[in-house]
Amino acid sequence: MKLFNRFKNRTKQIKVPKKRKSPMKKDHSKRTALAVWSMLSTIVIFSILTVMLSVNTRSGLNTTNAMLNQENVEVEEIMSQPLAEQFLSGFVPTYINVTNTNEAIEERKQNLREYMVQSESFQNERNEFYQLSGIQGDRVLKSYSLFDVQDEQENEALFQYKVTFTNRIHHEKEVEIEQEEKDDEDEEDREPETEIVTETEETDQTLLLSIPVQSQENQFAVSGVPYFSEVPTVKGVIEQEEVERAEAYTGEDTEPIHTFLNTFFTRYASEPKEELAYMMKEPMSLNGAFELDELTDTHIVEQEEGYQVFVTVLFRGVETNIPHVVNMELDLQRHEGNFFIETLQYQ
């Protein structure tokens, strides 16, 4: 019994360590992965936005540059030829006309300076361009017309005028004065009386006058010394190939077509266009200024629908009988049993 109690007491004295719960580590891998993917997604999104913004900015810059270039193109306008001609309409007479008096020469000099560019050379009245020493006559402009315009460089062009002027040369000549006969004076003993008269010799010249012109904001100035040259010919020998026409129609409608054409052109010459509305799709006429003389050549070509007619028509002026020859091409169609002109063209 004592042995049992002793064992029991010893058993109580033995301390059994309490079982501790081992701490469990939480799994943060999902949160980490989510954070990483979120970061990567954000980076990708910002990258895409950056690229799009860059492209948009570049596109905007390109558009802006294009607009600026367009504005520059619009600013660098081509020289206005009508305005330049208006400017030169004052310069050409001023330059051509020369009167051999000191006052006129001085006035011409001052007027010319107003047309020239603002440079030290051309604003100097001693420039050789203005000097007219040693002249022996006058020069008078008769007519001028624009011949050609050649672009030299930006805002500068060479205007060429065909000018005709008269050169007047004055000669002094001593001539004898006719005297009245006197009864008491012998004709052989009478001394002749003379006087000095001025005779004028005139000759016309036609030349090409070339004038360099500069412009700035529709303002103009002559930029160099004008010069004369021979007027070039613009008449050329130009060969033109004859157009081959299809084989001429000679069927049963030939005679009715000729009859219709004679009737039409008679009315075309003499009547107002309103009277031709039933014969033409787009009425036109000579309204009585001419009358039909004859159809000198007619070539009819059959088509799938209707006919194509090439005709040479001789008209004559009602008042003068002056001939007027024209070549025409007509497209004829059938309309309610009659012929009708769909189109009419001059060749």
- Give the tens place of pLDDT for each residue, 162-207: 999 999 988 777 777 776 665 555 555 566 777 777 778 899 999 9
Q: pLDDT (tens digit, 9 = 90+) per residue, 313-327?
A: 999 999 999 999 999
Q: Mean per-residue pLDDT for 124-133?
A: 87
What gap in Å lies between CA 272 and CA 138, rounded to an integer?
56
Summarize the confidence of residues 4-17 as an average pLDDT. 55
pLDDT, greater one: 196 or 223? 223
Report the alpha-carbon distance of residue 273 to residue 284 in Å, rounded.
Answer: 5
Confidence (pLDDT) at 194 = 72
Instruction: Kindly state the average pLDDT of the residues 258-278.
Output: 93
Check whether 274 has a pLDDT greater than 50. yes
- Residue 240's pLDDT band (boundaries 50, 70, 90)? confident
Phi-psi map region of 231: left, alpha, beta (phi>0 left; psi -120 to 50 alpha): beta
Q: 155: left (phi > 0), else alpha (psi -120 to 50), else beta?
A: left
Dihedral sign for Cα 295, 298, 300, 305, please: negative
Which pLDDT band, with edges at 50, 70 and 90, does 40 fall under?
confident
Q: What is the pLDDT of residue 51?
A: 65
pLDDT tens string 337-347: 889 999 999 98
Check pLDDT > 50 for residue 73. Answer: no
Grade residue 42 by pLDDT with cuts at 50, 70 and 90.
confident
